[in-house]
């Protein structure tokens, strides 16, 4: 099902938690809502489910305007962080429960619940109570219970945050498998960039109630819309080298280092910028190469298969993946050039992307 949000806004008193948020989410996709704590992810999910009324804007499911529809008429399956299974019911009874509410006949209920139990791999556990299950198994049951009604939309709010690191990895692959097998359109809330990058078709990245970018995971990384997006994605984080443009050159804030970089061509004199470079996007250039960043090597590191070096450009320190066969030594002066991808220029005040 296609989900269209038109300028949806949520105000709590004078505080705006979600501000004129518009996006169209495509049928059958897994979409991650990503952003730091408090940016409005759960608020958006709760407006989609109908638990929270909107303060403004419209929500459309395919051709239906559902903005004013009560939650039970929206055809939604919900999965939360804390599983929220009924403790006195068995696994099978838990999965059956939404169908019982809908007065589906018992035989059909059990048949559909068993199908779901198989899909999420808890069919061996159907007679157990929730307290006799691991966290991952409980979350599987919660997903089966959310899917048994065959919802038009599956909403998952940080479903993995109660699980330990190893189980998180396993369960995120499982959620993706289940989503692909059922073909259900799903919105998955997380503040974990790696989780979002690894399982989604598209990511919505939020900040302070405002959408920053809606894109495919790799496109967010390769083509960030602004400084916030560039900083939010990537591990290690992107290197920001502050500088100011003087006579068409990139000059460190203390004026001690400068470079004639093609990337700053056409930028206004006096503009304060961040040269943002992913750690994998530096290369060591020959000494007299043009258009490079003159730096000093401050350290070299080997960590298993990873080879890194640290550098300074004027007062700014940063790290890069560098092939150490270059024979770099601490204290050495080098010219750093850039690869074709992972190099951006942002306005320092507004965060607007310039290049």
Which of residues 49 and 271 has its CB atom nearest to ligand ATP in the complex?
49
What would the x/- binding string for ligand ATP be over residues 10 to 29, using CB under 6 A? --x--x-x------------
Choose the binding region for Mg ion from 4-12, 39-47, 228-236, 323-331 (rule: CB under 5 A). Answer: 39-47
Instruction: Please report how close the Cβ of residue 41 comes to Mg ion at its closest, in angstroms.
Output: 5
Alpha carbon separation from 279 to 8, 231, 272, 341 (Å, rounded)? 37, 12, 22, 11
Per rule CB under 6 A, is residue 37 in the interface with ligand ATP?
Answer: yes
Instruction: Please report how close the Cβ of residue 30 comes to Mg ion at its closest, in angstroms.
Output: 18
Site for ligand ATP in 178-197 (CB under 6 A): 191
Instruction: Please report how close the Cβ of residue 191 comes to Mg ion at its closest, in angstroms.
Output: 8
- Omega before 236 within 30 of 0, i.e. cis: yes
Per rule CB under 5 A, is residue 42 in the interface with Mg ion?
Answer: yes
Which of 43, 182, 239, 279 binds ligand ATP (CB under 6 A)? It is 43
Per rule CB under 6 A, is residue 159 in the interface with ligand ATP?
Answer: no
Q: Alpha-carbon distance 246 to 264, whole Å?
A: 10
Q: Alpha-carbon distance 3 to 185, whole Å?
A: 9
Q: Name the phi and psi angles at 174, rounded to 5.
A: -65, -45
Token output for 139: 């979350």
CB 157 within 8 A of CB 45: yes
CB 61 within 8 A of CB 76: no
Write the burial class of residue 327 (CB in 10 Å: 0-12 exposed, 13-18 middle, 19+ buried): exposed
| CA proximity to 275, closest of 242, 298, 324 | 242
Mapping DSSP onto H, E and C, the string for 232-285 reads HCCCCCCEEEEEEEECCEEECCCCCCEECCHHHCCCCCCCEEEEEECHHHEEEE
Instruction: Please report how close the Cβ of residue 206 comes to ligand ATP at its closest, in angstroms.
Output: 7
Instruction: Please report how close the Cβ of residue 43 comes to ligand ATP at its closest, in angstroms.
Output: 3
Which of residues 117 and 229 has its CB atom nearest to ligand ATP in the complex?
229
Choose the binding region for ligand ATP from 34-42, 83-91, 133-141, 233-241 (rule: CB under 6 A). Answer: 34-42
Per rule CB under 6 A, is residue 351 in the interface with ligand ATP?
Answer: no
Which of residues 158 and 258 has its CB atom nearest to Mg ion in the complex?
158
Instruction: Please report how close the Cβ of residue 159 comes to Mg ion at its closest, in angstroms.
Output: 12
Which of residues 41 and 74 has its CB atom nearest to ligand ATP in the complex?
41
Q: Alpha-carbon distance 222 to 213, whole Å?
A: 12
CB 185 within 8 A of CB 25: yes
Which of residues 186 and 261 has its CB atom nearest to ligand ATP in the complex?
186
Q: How far is CA 36 from the centre of its chain?
A: 9
Per rule CB under 6 A, is residue 301 in the interface with ligand ATP?
Answer: no
Per rule CB under 6 A, is residue 40 in the interface with ligand ATP?
Answer: yes
Instruction: Please report how close the Cβ of residue 42 comes to Mg ion at its closest, in angstroms.
Output: 3
Choose the binding region for ligand ATP from 39-47, 225-233, 307-315, 343-351 (rule: CB under 6 A). Answer: 39-47
Strand partners, 246: 249
Per rule CB under 6 A, is residue 41 in the interface with ligand ATP?
Answer: yes
Chosen from ligand ATP, Mg ion, none, partner binding at 39 (C-beta under 5 to 8 Å by type): ligand ATP
What would the x/- binding string for ligand ATP be over residues 110 to 149, using CB under 6 A? ----------------------------------------
Q: Name the phi and psi angles at 282, rounded to 5.
A: -95, 150
Which of 39, 229, 244, 267 binds ligand ATP (CB under 6 A)? It is 39
Which of residues 37 and 340 has its CB atom nearest to ligand ATP in the complex?
37
Backbone φ/ψ region at 206: left (φ over 0), alpha (ψ -120 to 50), beta: beta
DSSP 3-state assignment of 170? helix
Could you say which DSSP state residue 330 is in? T
Q: Which residues bind ligand ATP (CB under 6 A)?
A: 12, 15, 17, 35, 37-43, 191
């Amino acid at each position: 099902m296609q989900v269209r949000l038109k300028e949806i806004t949520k105000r709590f008193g004078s505080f705006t938690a979600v501000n004129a948020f518009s996006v169209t989410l495509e049928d059958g996709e897994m979409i991650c809502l990503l952003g730091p704590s408090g940016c409005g992810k759960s608020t958006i999910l709760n407006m989609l489910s109908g638990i929270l009324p909107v303060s403004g804007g419209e929500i459309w499911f395919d051709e239906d305007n559902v903005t004013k529809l009560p939650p039970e008429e929206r055809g939604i399956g919900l999965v939360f962080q804390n599983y929220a299974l009924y403790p006195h019911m068995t696994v099978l009874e838990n999965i059956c429960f939404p169908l019982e509410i809908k007065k589906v006949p018992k035989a059909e209920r059990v048949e559909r619940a068993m199908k779901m139990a198989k899909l999420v791999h808890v069919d061996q556990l159907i007679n157990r109570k929730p307290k006799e299950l691991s966290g991952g198994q409980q979350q599987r049951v919660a997903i089966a219970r959310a899917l048994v009604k065959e919802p038009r939309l599956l909403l998952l709010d940080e479903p993995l945050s109660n699980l330990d690191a190893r189980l998180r990895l396993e369960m995120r692959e499982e959620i993706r498998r289940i989503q692909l097998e059922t073909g259900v359109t799903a919105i998955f809330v997380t503040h974990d960039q790696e989780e979002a990058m690894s399982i989604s078709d598209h990511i919505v990245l939020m900040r302070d109630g405002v959408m920053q970018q809606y894109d495919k995971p790799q496109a967010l990384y390769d083509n960030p819309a602004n400084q916030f997006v560039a900083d939010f994605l990537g591990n290690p984080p992107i290197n920001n080298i502050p500088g100011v443009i003087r006579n068409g050159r990139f000059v460190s804030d203390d004026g001690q280092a400068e470079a004639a970089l093609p990337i700053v061509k056409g930028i206004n004199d006096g503009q304060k910028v961040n040269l943002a470079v992913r750690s994998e996007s530096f290369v060591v250039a020959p000494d007299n190469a043009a258009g490079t960043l003159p730096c000093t090597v401050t350290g070299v590191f080997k960590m298993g298969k990873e080879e890194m070096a640290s550098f300074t450009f004027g007062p700014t320190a940063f790290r890069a993946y560098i092939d150490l066969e270059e024979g770099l030594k601490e204290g050495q002066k080098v010219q750093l050039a850039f690869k074709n991808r992972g190099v951006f220029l942002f306005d320092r005040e507004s965060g607007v992307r310039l290049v």
